[in-house]
Amino acid sequence: MADFIVIPAIDLRSGRCVRLRRGIASEETVYDTDPLKVALRWEQAGAACIHVVDLDGAFAGSPRQTAMVIKIAAAVKIPVEAGGGLRTKDHIRKLVESGVARAIIGTAACESREFTVGLIGEFGPALAMAVDAHDGLVQTAGWTSTSAVRAIDLAERLDRDGARTLIYTDTGRDGMLSGPNIPAIEKLCGRVRCSVIASGGVSAQEDIDRLRALSLPNLGGVIVGKALYEGKVDLCKNKPVNKS
């Protein structure tokens, strides 16, 4: 079985490293003005991967922080996955060809199955699908719009269409330090075969331990943001642990 990893999040907004509460633009906390320095710090602390989100791009509908994303990918020796406003094949190709290990799409994956299938065929493992859910329904456009699509239905469709990785976020818990949505994560992992990365709500080491203890074969890890920045989780204590 694959390693279960803890993935630090770097959310970019106006060139700064920030965290939002439930993805709401007005509820922002700035943690650093040098995202590159933060990425290097997480790498030194033992991260196996870094999750980068272009929040400006997510809200605008097209990338805005591409230069910084590429700088981060070039500066660290570990894989970087990145998303936020990626709506076209050119957006994705630019990141992948510039050294980003995995580009993340969310809104596009929900809105056009034909487009998504084509992307999966072209980019394969260099593409991840974001399934962002509030009360079980998919949110798009930087979490500003809630669709009528059930998150579990979208996840199953993406899995059938060949997606290699799903990033599942409970948006109502993101940045809230309220604990991850364990039942939803268990249900989703039980309905798909591809790798699942959980996100949203991690508040302490105990939350990570609970997720790891589930021993779900396709739960590949968890993304942690606010809890890391506020010292509630120590990356040094979360080196990859093989589940086999």
Looking at residue 202, the DSSP 8-state letter turns out to be -
Single-letter amino acid, residue 132: D
* Helices first, then strands: H and E counts in the chain: 10, 13
30-53 burial, b for 16+ CB within 10 Å, e for fewer? ebeeebbebbeebbeebbbbbbbb
Q: Given the DSSP bridges, would you call strands 137-140 and 145-150 parallel, antiparallel or unpaired?
A: antiparallel
d(CA 170, CA 188): 12
Distances (CA, A) of 162 to 108, 128, 137: 16, 11, 22
Strand, helix or coil for residue 129: strand
Among candidate residues 3, 54, 56, 132, the one labeled active-site is 132
Has 209 been annotated as catalytic? Answer: no
Angle at 127 between CA 92 and CA 211, to 5 degrees: 135
161-195 burial, b for 16+ CB within 10 Å, e for fewer? bebbbbbbbbbbbbbbbbbbbeebbeebbeebebb
Has 153 been annotated as catalytic? Answer: no
Q: Which residue is listed with tokens 């329904």?
A: 137
Is the Cβ–Cβ distance between 84 and 54 less than 8 Å? yes
Q: What amino acid positions are annotated as catalytic residues?
A: 11, 132
